Amino acid sequence: MRQEKGIDWPSSIVVCEVGPRDGLQNEKKLFSVEQKVELIERSVHAGAKIIEIGSFVHPKAVPQMADTDEVAKRIKRVEGVEYRALVMNMKGLERALAAGIRKTKLTVSASRSHCLANMNRTPEEVVAGFGEFAEFTAKHGIELSGGIATSFGCPFEGRVPLEQLVSVISGFKKIGVKEVSISDTTGMANPRQVYEYGVHVRKLFPDMKWILHFHDTRGMGLANVVAGMLAGIDRFDSCFAGLGGCPFAPGATGNIATEDLVHMCHEMGISTGMDLDEVISLARSVKEIIGHDTSGFILRAGKCSDIVAPPKKDGKEAS
């Protein structure tokens, strides 16, 4: 961290590319195995050190992820890059193991109402049931991480209390999880809330690794990233071209775009280890494939460094 007038800015952050999973799972167009492999490998070439390649879920539930097994087997693994995948049950975990995935993520909703409506169990009961997953991953040398959906806001109950988020994190800690992704699934978080929650959980769980996951549903995604940085968190999920959303959270479309996140950080003098031009090129390719506009800003406006002075008229600069 470097201090500037009392503000501790990080010198660098880690960008976690979730496009192959959270981006593509909400698209009507089904990408081929070859296309997915290319997107993953181009993301790594652009500098991504953590990439979520897909999810091992039932193909009828999320048909966009039906071929994750084949994708995982075909990608060229690069040393130093973390390839992670989402799992929902033991069968999915077994599939991940067979496909050579060494990092898996389990997700639960922080909202009691949302969890009870979808799983008929409280968040604490769901996490307690993850104990068998922890035993399986420990036995087979797989790292297990936790994801907490609706961490800040829920369509049923509004703002999710900090105490409820802490309760779910405690459950993950009990089963040995050492990394938690705090997700704004519904796009309801605001910067002040993100800062307060971030500072609090870092103080309560000093040994836990944190990732923040924001959707830009209401235009606060990058502001929330800045708030997270100021709270001392330096890992952030993002998606190429700003695709995404969640098929189980209506209206929560649009993850923060990777190219927007990288551009903002580089303008702030914060290193990401990523090649911005390569990231933008990848986002453009994705947009061409899906054939519709996306929520990213840089694809529309370009980089700040691309802006040139307007042509002069009659010896004066045009206004």
Quick: pLDDT tens for 71-124: 999 999 999 999 999 999 999 999 999 999 999 999 999 999 888 988 889 999
Q: Active-site residue 115, yes or no? A: no
Domain count, the chain: 1
Task: Assess whether pLDDT exceeds 70 at residue 316.
Answer: no
Tell which residue, 115, 178, 191, has the closest CA to residue 152.
191
- Band of the pLDDT at 1, cuts 50, 70, 90? low
Maximum CA pair distance of the chain?
76
- What is the distance between the alpha carbons of residues 267 and 262, in angstroms, rounded to a whole number? 9
Quickly count: other Cβ atoms within 10 Å of residue 297's Cβ.
17
pLDDT at 69: 98
Higher pLDDT, 299 or 317: 299
- Band of the pLDDT at 249, cuts 50, 70, 90? low
Assigned token pair, 287:
């947009």
Catalytic residue, chosen from 115, 246, 265, 304, is: 246
pLDDT at 7: 84
Task: Assess whether pLDDT exceeds 70 at residue 139.
Answer: yes
Task: Assess whether pLDDT exceeds 60 at residue 212.
Answer: yes
- CA atoms 297, 298, 302, 303: torsion sign: positive
Mean pLDDT of the chain: 93
pLDDT at 94: 97
Which residues 6+ apart lie within 8 Å of 140 measured at CB? Answer: 97
pLDDT at 290: 95
Q: Under a CB-based contact definition with an 8 Å cutoff, are residues 286 and 240 in contact?
A: yes
Q: CA neighbours within 13 Å on the CB side: how many for 205?
A: 22
pLDDT at 307: 82
Q: Which residue has the tokens 């995935």?
A: 101
- Band of the pLDDT at 251, cuts 50, 70, 90? low
- Concatenate the DSSP letters of all residues of 238-261 into one string: EBGGG----TTSTT---BPBHHHH
Tell which residue, 219, 218, 260, has the closest CA to residue 237.
260
Average pLDDT over residues 51-62: 95
**Percent above pLDDT 70 for the chain:** 92
Assigned token pair, 152:
């800040």
Higher pLDDT, 280 or 319: 280
DSSP E strands in the chain: the ranges are: 2-4, 7-9, 14-17, 50-56, 82-87, 103-109, 143-149, 153-154, 158-159, 179-184, 209-214, 235-238, 312-313, 316-317
pLDDT at 31: 97
Domain residues for 245? 2-317
Q: Rounded to a whole number, what is the distance in angstroms from the first to the last CA of the chain?
A: 40
pLDDT at 176: 96
Higher pLDDT, 254 or 107: 107
* Low-confidence winner among 29-33, 152-156, 239-243 (lowest mean pLDDT): 152-156
Q: Under a CB-based contact definition with an 8 Å cutoff, are residues 126 and 119 in contact?
A: yes
Average pLDDT over residues 136-163: 95
Q: Under a CB-based contact definition with an 8 Å cutoff, are residues 135 and 93 in contact?
A: no
CATH number of the domain bearing residue 276: 3.20.20.70
Average pLDDT over residues 155-168: 94
User: What does the pLDDT look like over 278-306, one tens digit per residue?
Assistant: 999 999 999 999 999 888 899 999 999 99
pLDDT at 114: 85
Tell which residue, 275, 279, 274, 286, has the closest CA to residue 243.
286
- Band of the pLDDT at 234, cuts 50, 70, 90? very high
